[in-house]
Amino acid sequence: MTADAIPDFPFDRPTALEPPPKLAELRGQCPVAHVRLPSGDVATLVTRYDDARAVMADPRFSRNLAREGAARLSTTEDGGLFNRPKDGTADINEGPGHMRWRRLLSRWFTARKMEVWRPRVQSMADDLLDAMLAKGSPGNLSAALALPLPVRVICALVGAPSEDQDKFAHWSRTMLTLTRNTQEEVDQAYREFNAYVSDLVDRNRADPGDDLLSELTQISDAEDGRLSQEELITTVRGLLLAGHETTSNMIAIMVAMLLSDRERFEAVIDDPGLIPGTVEEVLRLDSTLSAIGGVPRFITEDVELGEVTVPAGTTLIPNIPSANRDPAKFPDPDRFDPRRQNSSQHLTFGAGPHYCLGQPLARLELQVVLSTLTQRLPGLRLRDSADDLRLRTGGMSGGLQDVWVMW
């Protein structure tokens, strides 16, 4: 680490789709570096693939930043989503309690189970696209498809009414603030989201269907009650948030990334066999989804990362977009190559004990959208130039502002 002035983080970037040049500079020269967060606190940014992977995969490192000495991320008094006390749910966040929680949920997210969802996701995508086409070109792809599709899917899977999508979107965005919301707004979003989910739990308990929440309520009511009411509420709130926010953003990013260099889109039209590889390259090359680039970890003992000893009490940020462009892992890393052999080894879904539970579903949704757009709208293009695309700022989750398309 250098003694130079500590740079402000997140870093500036030339255009929305290009990563900040500072990431490549640090990866080459100072792969474990101090940065200053919007809260004013200092954290340590980890930019190489092997180091970032090691940080995410190490079960000793805690995601709970509600601890003495952990860096606060956001400008709100609570320091943001990761710094808020875990009120009665710390047990499902780490260690054996977390493993039990994952076992309960993971059977809903196996690749096999997800294949059963493919036709449903396809028909939802077709309905949404029909509605966009009926309104005529140009269309706002973000509002017409990217946001509502993952919301409908996660609502059907969890057992929530998708008409409430505007509410989830509002609560999620407020909870994920970095700089744009006040503490009062954040607290209100938590209160409303919790009350909403609590009511949903009661309704599914009284009248169970074949959805995930109904199953979880039955398990939590069993004699050895495995999830408390608080844990159940946190789980459902987390799934509604994780299930739509990231995937919605990634669908819009995928469309922007492929249409800003149309050869990528045309390659899939010519050879639909490239769909999985194209989706993996989009996931690998994205740098906009998360403002800070990963979920931070707090370390309670000294750790060796490369040549550097990082002291206990440090908040580490494994930066996924930087790791995904590490030339030591992905040769010629900035090149978009749907035939790249190891692209699916990107860290966009994390690694280790917290590896994204929803990744088979997210991959499925991205593949269905790409296949549907290339088949039904081969002439699709961006309305504006790629340089006019704008990032959403002020939150931990980034993504693009509305992406408009023509056909």
Residue 324 in the binding site for ligand HEM (CB under 6 A) = no
User: What size, in residues, is the chain?
Assistant: 407
**Which part of the chain contacts ligand HEM (CB under 6 A), choosing from 2-10, 138-146, 179-187, 348-356?**
348-356
Q: CA angle, corner 262, sides to 259 and 268, nearest 5?
A: 95
Q: Which of 361, 368, 400, 405 binds ligand HEM (CB under 6 A)?
A: 361
**Which part of the chain contacts ligand HEM (CB under 6 A), choosing from 118-126, 241-249, 306-314, 391-399?**
241-249
**Which part of the chain contacts ligand HEM (CB under 6 A), choosing from 6-14, 139-147, 239-247, 273-281?**
239-247
Amino acid, single-letter form, for residue 165: Q
Q: Which of 36, 63, 170, 383 binds ligand HEM (CB under 6 A)?
A: 63
User: DSSP per residue over 286-303, as a string?
Assistant: --SSBSSSS--EE-SS-E
Question: How many chain residues are in contact with ligand HEM, going by CB under 6 A?
Answer: 22
Residue 250 in the binding site for ligand HEM (CB under 6 A) = yes
Burial (CB < 10 A; 0-12, 13-18, 19+), residue 243, is: buried
Residue 357 in the binding site for ligand HEM (CB under 6 A) = yes
**Which part of the chain contacts ligand HEM (CB under 6 A), choosing from 67-75, 208-216, 302-310, 347-355?**
347-355
Cβ proximity to ligand HEM: between 266 and 347 the closer is: 347
User: Rounded distance, CA 400 to CA 404, Å?
Assistant: 11
Residue in the shown chain whose Cβ atom is closest to ligand HEM: 358
From residue 117, give the alpha-carbon distance in Å to each of 102, 108, 112, 156, 358.
20, 11, 9, 10, 13
Amino acid, single-letter form, for residue 255: V
CB 216 within 8 A of CB 227: yes
Residue 113 in the binding site for ligand HEM (CB under 6 A) = no
CB of 277: closest distance to ligand HEM in angstroms?
16
Question: Which of 369, 303, 299 has the alpha carbon at shortest distance from 71?
Answer: 299
CB of 4: closest distance to ligand HEM in angstroms?
29
**Which part of the chain contacts ligand HEM (CB under 6 A), choosing from 21-29, 210-218, 356-364, 373-381?**
356-364
Cβ proximity to ligand HEM: between 122 and 270 the closer is: 122
CB 18 within 8 A of CB 287: yes
Cβ proximity to ligand HEM: between 63 and 205 the closer is: 63
Question: What contacts 199, CB < 8 A, 6 or more positions away?
Answer: none
Peptide bond into 31 cis (omega under 30): no
Q: CA angle, corner 170, sides to 155 and 256, nearest 5?
A: 80
User: Rounded distance, CA 342 to CA 139, Å?
Assistant: 35
3 state DSSP class of 93: coil
**Which part of the chain contacts ligand HEM (CB under 6 A), choosing from 165-173, 238-246, 264-272, 368-376?**
238-246
Structure tokens at 377: 């709208």
287-306: which residues touch ligand HEM (CB under 6 A)? 289, 295
Q: Which of 49, 117, 330, 349 binds ligand HEM (CB under 6 A)?
A: 349
User: Rounded distance, CA 331 to CA 218, Å?
Assistant: 49
Residue 400 in the binding site for ligand HEM (CB under 6 A) = no
Structure tokens at 39: 């809260």
CB 66 within 8 A of CB 298: no
E-only strand ranges, 112-253: 139-140
Residue 348 in the binding site for ligand HEM (CB under 6 A) = yes
CB of 97: closest distance to ligand HEM in angstroms?
11
Q: Mask 171-210, x = binds ligand HEM (CB under 6 A)?
A: ----------------------------------------
Peptide bond into 10 cis (omega under 30): yes
Q: Which of 6, 90, 156, 356 binds ligand HEM (CB under 6 A)?
A: 356
Residue 147 in the binding site for ligand HEM (CB under 6 A) = no
In the complex, the residues that contact ligand HEM under the rule CB under 6 A are 56, 63, 102, 154, 238-239, 242-243, 246-247, 250, 289, 295, 348-350, 354, 356-358, 361-362
